Structure 1
Amino acid sequence: MSQAEEKTALRQSMAWLHTWGGLWACWVLFVVFLTGTFGVFDDAITRWMKPQLPQASETRGMDDGVDRPQAVRLGQAYLSEHVPRSHFWGIGLPNDNDAAVRLFWEDQNEQFHNIRIDATSGEPIKATDERESEGGHHFVHMHFEFHAGTAGIWFVGFFTMAMLVGLVSGVITHKRIFKDFFTFRPGKAQRSWLDAHNAVSVLSLPFQLMIAYTGLATFYMLYMPAGIAVHYPSDDAYFANLLTQPEPREETGIDAPVTALDALLLSSEQQLQRPVSFVSVEHPGDSSASVVTFGRFIEKTGEYRLLGDGAGQVFFDGVSGAQLDLQAPGELRGGAAQDVQSVMRNLHFAAFGGHAARWLYFICGLAGAAMMATGAILFMVKRRQRALNEFGARTPQVYRVIEVLNIASISGLSLACIAFFWGNRLIPLGIADRPEWEVAAFFVVWLLTFVHAAWRPATRAWVEQLLATALLCLTLPLLNWLVVGDQFIRYLQRGDGERAGVELVAIALGLLCLWTARRVWQKSQQPATAKARRNSPRTASVEVAS
């Protein structure tokens, strides 16, 4: 076999791998990319979904108007009264996103609990008083674990590896990929979809490679646990050794009260020179108790350090209050390998560059989602024109299943995402587990789109789901005005760019869905129009005359 024949054979094998491997992975990866794109602005979405939160403040220094010692005293008093002995306490101090004190604990049965208390009175905040919501964190959890915990992380990791394979095989398959990037032929059916797929793929190829690889590197400990399990008794022990931090302590069973946390907070802030955002207590009520105070991350305008500023943390003995260790802001521990992992983590989470970097990630994320969508649609366009009978007599049924999955995974997911926002405004206040009801509404709507796609003809399913998505997006400000009394114009007048941005992006995506639905419908009518012209009396007479 000649060298040219070998190259052709390699390209053909890569084309098969890219086509079929990409098809089975693209549905999951579309979900990962679209929800991850929205998750870039999870704080802004959370602020929109919780109208009770204050407008984002530019105050970043020590004097931010929060009485943190009082807040941590109230948090410790509540936890000491209700759960004096537990595996873990956590006290989240008031910040721009939440004016309340957030309390977390893990009881003796290893059940996790949380509550919010007023930062002034220490009284629990009733669910009827505020709009509880998962907020933008829902999209973050969908992005990396589909709300399925460790199993979900493994699931997403598998398809992320498939994505890397798809990217490499795609580059090998398209030998003229960069030339094709500058070529777009509209109205050419399969050719147009291929041009669109090539364009968005090449445009965002560096971003796709970076985001996939760094996503895997972020969870290296979970994906490659064998080395850690062999050499360390626990993950905490591994990180303590790697980062030269105090070793985790075993419970002794000897009762001992937790020292005053407000004094530790003041000491930490003095040394870190920044506000403390979170206080963690391991084994409260036991003589082995230990305390860690975490500084607040401060994003400095004009700084774009990928290695990160690092918020800093201080370690204390939880009973005596003696300081055990100090990791100053910006101090790097763990060696070169940990530094590299830190860079990759910051790259993946856009933890640098401020709003400019986040908008860049948002645009590239949408391009990545478009790459998945156009690839899935291209497969069906090609098979509709030239079926290969890969599955014998069952090939039409398999193609139908693929088309249903295309519709529900692309337009159906988009509809479920905007339905999540509507659920936030329509689900009554004060019901138990309200954030879980919002997430449930998202999954119910998404499941119904699969049923709808299977029930309706393909073109009508596409158009109807896109129109429903456009309707919900375009009327979201109206819903917000009717329920809360606010909308993007009033947000802009108050200078609340985050909440206004959520509604303006929803309107833009609604217009995009409306335009897409119109194009799909027009395209579906072209064959019928051409057939009608061929069968018209005038055309027939011309053909006879000729």
Structure 2
Amino acid sequence: MNIRSDIVKVYKDVHIWIGIVSGLMLFVAFYAGAITMFEKPLERWATPPSALSAPPPLQRADALVDAVLAQQPKAAARWFVSVRPTADQPARVYWQERGKGRREFKEYGASFAADGSLQVEPTRKATVAQLVDTLHQLVGLPFPDAVARPIMGAVALAYAVALVSGLIVLLPTIAKDVFALRIGRNIKRLWLDVHNALGLFSLPFHIVIALTSVVFAFHDQFYDAQDAVVYPNGIQWGEEEHAVTPPGAVPLPVAELLRRVEVQLPGFEVQGFGFQREGDRIEATVTGLDLRHGTRARTYASTHLDPYTGQVDPHDLPGHMEPWDEAVNAFFMLHFGSFGGNPVRWLYLLMGLAGAALFYSGNLLWVESRRRKRRGAETPVQKRSAWALACLTVGVSLGCVAGISASVAATKWLPALVGDPKAWHTGIYYAVFAAAVGWAFVRGASRGAMELLRIGAAFTLLIPLSSLAGAYGLGGAWNHTGGWPVDATALAAVPVFLLLARHTRRRMRHGHDDSVWAAKAIPAS
């Protein structure tokens, strides 16, 4: 395809500068987003064991609910019954009570003790998975949601523009360069080939992520515009039909509700039921997952249920929605990878890591393109802008990697040592992140990268080591028998980081000595 060189240059400049401005935030979003693909296994691995007795059989769940409502009046507003308790949600019955903040809730679980008395304890669901998800959603910015989310939306818009401009730049040489991977002394050419291949072959994935991120960031504004233009007089819902509860009616037992739901929704694996009081009537929802359909949430779907008859209203479930609702559901499904089960989750994890590599390599290309090359015997002094971006790229990217690993590694120890693990998880991440950025500027891009990769490997190795310590009950740590996939994944990542550190060291010693990646690279004053 022939495109005028001046047009290509304009799009190349757009692509480069958008990448420079937003690339590092996108690295954090993609690396953390890749980890969130297995948020539930991470939550199970990271949640301390419960002091509650084993959950009673489902047939006794109603007796447990009665005991909870009799002794815990605040639970009467809304309570939940778990069909299949897990390590991160071990109680059969649990509920939430509002905290000091508007969005703060304290969750409690209940069981029967051996003597039949009621046991109650605050649930101890780990917050490290929530931290990783927040880093993903807010592109790593340590600001309140109201401030960081519009910035994330602007970054996503810029990211979409960068995808289009990058594709236009690549079009004139796409037939020649698309499958090229020229390995040799020309490091810039190698990085360019890797960058182009990653960008082109993952383009559909990146377009989906960019567009859905914009929708998530500005959904309130979209709804406001829709109300003003399409529904200026408000949405006319019509007369709603309210079910009438017969006098003296009581909800069906939970075990019977489960049986009736399974008959109506074959293939839908029920996870639990939610109940709340509306006047003299109890409303209910059923939550679960059908692997045949993608879901709006990462790991579940829910819909209304009549607790008196067991009749399900399936219109909120994928596969039963109206076309418009299915389209909205598709936005969430495609962004979260919440379809196809674990094979799709692994694919999204690899695509997320490849996306992080795409942004990292883009910054490296900019640095290499501004390298002052040797013209004689004297080694040139590199531009301060190139040196600074190299250090910033190394510090932010590897600081994110090391910070997440350090925070996850601390999970097994914090509950026994501190009163607010959530604050400590956040503090550990940003402390390691800030230290890594400072370290990269002090040591330079090459030495900083090598050392931070080793530090990241050490923090990542601490993840399975903390589980090993928990297996022997050391220092208040613990270990769940089903948590080995997290440990195995972390253990597999360690040699990858060490191998990257080795290659960085080799390049530092034997690569171009007129590069910011050389051992003695010094910026211009």
Question: What TM-score bracket applies, with the shorter chain setting the length?
Answer: 0.7 to 0.9
Query: Would the alpha carbon gap of residues 188 and 111 (structure 1) be closer, same or farther in structure 2, given more than 3 Å must change?
Result: closer
- The count of corresponding residues between Structure 1 and Structure 2 is 475
**Residue in 1 that maps onto 2:334:** 347
Residues 326 and 344 from structure 1, CA distance in 2 versus in 1: closer, same or farther, beyond 3 angstroms?
same
Write out per-residue CA displacement over residues 70-102 of structure 1, whole angstroms, 9 at most, x where no aligned residue. Answer: 45445544541x477xxx645363632411244
Residues 315 and 326, structure 1, Cα contact 8 Å, conserved in 2: yes
Alignment of 1:278-317 (within 5 A): 278-279=273-274, 281=276, 287=279, 292-300=283-291, 303=292, 311-314=301-304
1:172 aligns to what SS in structure 2?
helix
**Residue in structure 2 matched with residue 468 of structure 1 by the alignment:** 455
2:136 to 138, 143, 162: 143
TM-score, structure 2 length as denominator?
A: 0.77
Residue identity in the other structure for 2:135:
M
Verify: 1:91 aligned to 2:72, yes or no: no
Q: What is the CA–CA distance in structure 2 between the aligned matches of 1:163 and 1:378, rounded to whole Å?
A: 17
1:427 is displaced (CA, Å) by 2.3
RMSD, aligned α-carbons: 4.2
Aligned to 2:520: none
Aligned to 1:425, what secondary structure does the other structure show?
A: coil
Q: Per the alignment, do residues 426 and 381 of structure 1 end up closer, same or farther by CA in structure 2, a change over 3 Å counting?
A: farther
- Aligned-residue offset at 1:342: 0.9
Shift of 1:216: 3.3
- The correspondence for 2:356, drawn from 369, 378, 387, is 369
| TM-aligned CA deviation for residue 347 of structure 1 | 1.8
Counterpart of 1:166 in structure 2 is 162
What residue in structure 1 maps to residue 62 of structure 2?
Answer: 69
User: Does residue 401 of structure 2 align to residue 403 of structure 1?
Assistant: no
2:522 equivalent in structure 1: none
Within 5 Å, give how 1:316-331 maps onto structure 2. 326-327=313-314, 330=317
Partner of 2:110: 118
SS of the residue corresponding to residue 95 of structure 1 reads coil
CA offset digits 1:198-226 (Å, max 9, x no partner): 12222322211122223334566324132
Question: Counterpart of 1:277?
Answer: 272
State the SS of the aligned residue for 1:432.
coil
Structure 1 pair 184/107, CA: closer, same or farther in 2 (3 Å)? closer
1:279-333: per-residue Cα shift (whole Å, max 9, x none)? 253xx6x84x875422232334xx356799984533679xxx8999833674767
Paired-residue identity, %: 19
Equivalent-residue separation in structure 2 for 1:225 and 1:172 (angstroms): 33
Measure the CA separation in 1 of the matches of 2:288 and 2:309. Answer: 25
Q: 1:510 aligns with which of 484, 487, 494?
A: 494
Cα displacement (A) at 1:337 = 2.3
What CA deviation, in whole Å up to 9, does each residue of 1:164-201 have, x standing for no partner?
11111111011223532321122322111111111222
CA deviation after TM superposition for structure 1 residue 523, in Å: 0.8
Change in Cα spacing, 1:525 to 1:492, as seen in structure 2 (3 Å) is: same
Q: Which amino acid aligns with 2:165?
A: S
How many angstroms apart in 2 are the aligned matches of 1:111 and 1:261?
32
Distance in structure 2 (CA, Å) of the matches to 1:493 and 1:107: 29
Contact persistence 2:261–2:311 (CA under 8 A)? no
What residue is the counterpart of 1:256 in the other structure?
A: none
Structure 1 unpaired stretches of 5+: 55-62, 248-258, 388-394, 532-546
* Secondary structure of 2:167 counterpart: helix
Partner of 2:209: 211
The corresponding residue for 2:378 is: none
Cα distance in 1, alignment partners of residues 514 and 18 from structure 2: 36
Work out which of the residue numbers 501, 504, 520 in structure 1 matches 2:485: 501
In structure 1, distance between residues paired with 2:147 and 2:253 = 38
The residue type paired with residue 194 of structure 2 is: A
**What are structure 2's unaligned runs of at least 5 residues?**
243-247, 263-268, 375-381, 516-525
Using structure 1 for the length normalisation, give the TM-score: 0.74
Matches within 5 A, 1:407-426: 407-426=394-413
| Post-superposition offset of 1:397 | 4.1
Distance, in Å, in 1 between the alignment partners of 2:286 and 2:240 is: 16
